[in-house]
Amino acid sequence: MAIRTIRAEGDEILKKKSREIEQIDDKIKELLEDMLETMHKYNGVGLAAVQVGILKRAIVIDLYDDKGSLKLINPVIIKQKGEQEVEEGCLSFPNKYAQLIRPQEVTVEALDENGKKVKIHGKGLLAQALCHEIDHLDGIVFVDKIIPGTMQYVEPNE
């Protein structure tokens, strides 16, 4: 396992669409582990493969609750319901936060790290994280969707 470099604002790769993963091999499993380790190091809630420079449809999410982390391959939102106004940030946009509208609930189909089909129903923060990370796979970053005038920069605590 290794900490990977997170691609930051202005990096062209963040605007590119990620490709479907055809085969889940040891390299993909290692990528997912590295992504999880990288996300935890920077106290993130989610991370998409494109954020570490890999244009593959893989995401990891951890809400730091008793349910553990999610490793999802080729995730697709198949249903969404309601809306919520949320504050959002992104590891690729350090110290920037803004308000945006996300669905209140989503249902996502994906493959787990063993290639088993899974269906995840997320509400609140989980719905928000799923939408945020799946957007990354389509080359969409949160600043593309913000409510105008809500962007703020927070000084890092050194």
pLDDT in tens, 116-130: 999 999 999 999 999
What percentage of the chain has pLDDT greater than the value 90? 95
Q: Where on the phi/psi map is residue 5: left (φ > 0), alpha (ψ -120 to 50), or beta?
A: beta
Residue type, 142: F
User: Does the residue 4 lie in any domain?
Assistant: no
User: Does the residue 1 lie in any domain?
Assistant: no
pLDDT score at 156: 79
pLDDT at 158 over 60: no
User: Does the residue 101 lie in any domain?
Assistant: yes
User: Does the residue 3 lie in any domain?
Assistant: no
Instruction: Identify the band that residue 155 occupies on the pLDDT scale cut at 50, 70 and 90.
Output: confident
Number of domain units in the chain: 1
- Domain holding 87, by residue range, is 12-153
Average pLDDT rounded to a whole number, residues 83-97: 97
Q: Indicate if 133 belongs to the active site.
A: yes
What's the whole-model pTM score?
0.96
pLDDT in tens, 11-53: 999 999 999 999 999 999 999 999 999 999 999 999 999 999 9
Q: Of these residues, 33, 133, 155, 158, which one is catalytic?
A: 133
Rounded CA gap, 65 and 51, in Å? 23
Q: Which two tokens stand for residue 157?
A: 């605590």
User: Does the residue 25 lie in any domain?
Assistant: yes
Q: What is the CATH number of the domain that holds 122?
A: 3.90.45.10
User: Does the residue 127 lie in any domain?
Assistant: yes
User: Does the residue 75 lie in any domain?
Assistant: yes
User: Does the residue 5 lie in any domain?
Assistant: no
Rounded CA gap, 112 and 72, in Å? 5
